[in-house]
Amino acid sequence: MESFPEEPLSLSAADGFGYFPADINQTLRGGRYSIVRKLGWGPRSSTWLAWDKDRDDPWYWAIQIFTAAASEEVETKLLPILIERKIDFADPSAVPIYPESFRETSIHGEHVCLVMKPYGLPFSDVLRDAKSRRAGLPVHVVEFTTQVIVEVLNDLHNGNVRVMHAGVKLENLKIRPNTFRNNLQTHISESPPAKMQAIDGLPVVCSQPLANNKVKWNDPMRTVVNTWMLVLAGFGHAQGAPYTPEGGFDYSSAPETLLENPTCGLSTDIWMLGCLVFHLLMGSPLLTSTGTPSERLGEIRDVLQGWIPSSWLGDATAQALPNKDTSTRSLEQRLKQNLKKDDASAAYRFLRKCLVIDPAGRASSRYLLLEDQWVEDGRQCSCGFKMLGLS
């Protein structure tokens, strides 16, 4: 059997998959949407750029089509959060926004489809380009990126919404494409879909993210603030209270998710934010252990030079902690190794508010947005002066 270059289209829902075998020019929702190209795929879905034929002017949406295996859970748990809850985002351009959903049928069964704004190149491309010249991204770029994410998290965590994003990771940071009609149409015509092939009788289409809004890792702050448009995508694992960790899902090794009786919550998003900020600054992940939960928790203890909460000491994961590894470099040591002294100190102050072993000790998204200097430094206007603090 020939292997598939991207998602395994032949694996069924019974196998835990059941991807929708879409094709270029295929229509969805009774002919309203026509597929133009494939934007990407992930563990539970594939995403396609589609032309909305019901509009008088050419308009494009991204349509995320979930696997047959995941669709029932998405419909019962995720749709009420993304569509039925009216989340008032301060900057709607920083999230995909899901205005509607519908169902499609394939050989694998029924698929939930979410309509959203298109997003472009992965932000990891920017980090990759920077790593050709340095360890990670410049501090001002990371500060700006942090501020965008914190605003989104504050909107999700606030008031009656109380939604946990659960996907604050590098792979979910995207650069928003230039969706102005003529620009996008020109880009599509100049970069047509890759030639389709067939494997086992199924259409195989390779991903082509929209790449008509490229940014440079060394752009000055004035350019970053004026022209960069970042999107925090990856809402596929978002949940409302009561929060329950998904088995097999990686929450950036948030300590509370490693316990024998794991938990998660809004503060888990803050931990994930801290891990992401470190990765962007240093060009490599904070935590590297892939061992047992106890071994991973031990690495966290050693990197943060912290203590395990007393309320966890009866948990089997905490009881099996390995001895301290004195050769492990601490968070502060690693920052000082690659950043200037003042930058390392500023980054450390921010990260210590996020990377706290006890979830109760982490800063809230609202505190970070209103009170934290690192986030404030990322909110500079194009003239170089910092915007007034929010009230």
| Residue in 280, 250, 257, 232 with CA at minimum distance from that of residue 128 | 280
| Residue in 169, 233, 182 with CA at minimum distance from that of residue 212 | 182
Rounded to whole angstroms, the Cα distance separating 90 from 98 reads: 16
- What pLDDT, on a 0 to 100 scale, did the predictor assign at position 391? 32
- What pLDDT, on a 0 to 100 scale, did the predictor assign at position 181? 65
Polymer length in residues for the chain: 391
The answer to whether 280 and 145 have CB atoms below 8 angstroms apart is: yes
Give the C-alpha distances (Å, rounded to integers) separating 194 from 8, 45, 48, 209, 229: 18, 20, 13, 11, 26
- Digit-by-digit pLDDT tens for the chain (391 residues) are 458 999 999 999 999 999 999 999 999 999 999 999 999 998 899 999 999 998 877 789 999 999 999 999 999 988 988 887 778 888 888 888 777 999 999 999 999 999 999 989 999 999 999 999 999 999 999 999 999 999 999 999 998 899 999 999 999 999 998 877 678 888 888 888 877 889 999 999 999 999 988 899 999 999 999 899 999 999 989 999 999 999 889 999 999 999 999 999 999 999 999 999 999 999 999 999 999 999 999 999 999 999 999 999 999 999 999 999 999 999 999 999 999 999 999 999 999 999 999 999 999 999 999 999 999 999 875 444 444 333 3
Rounded to whole angstroms, the Cα distance separating 39 from 50 reads: 10
The answer to whether 81 and 73 have CB atoms below 8 angstroms apart is: no
Q: How many CA atoms lie within 13 A of 33 on its CB side?
A: 25
Structure tokens of 137? 């991204």
The set of long-range contacts for 47-51, using a CB threshold of 8 Å and a minimum separation of 24, is: 48/22, 49/118, 49/188, 49/210
pTM: 0.92
Give the bridge partners for 224, in sequence order: none
The answer to whether 21 and 106 have CB atoms below 8 angstroms apart is: yes
- Asked whether the CA dihedral 25, 27, 32, 38 is positive or negative, the reply is negative
Give buried/exposed letters for 25-43 (b at 16+ CB in 10 A, else e).
ebebbeebbebbbbbbbbe
The answer to whether 190 and 136 have CB atoms below 8 angstroms apart is: no
Rounded to whole angstroms, the Cα distance separating 22 from 35 reads: 8
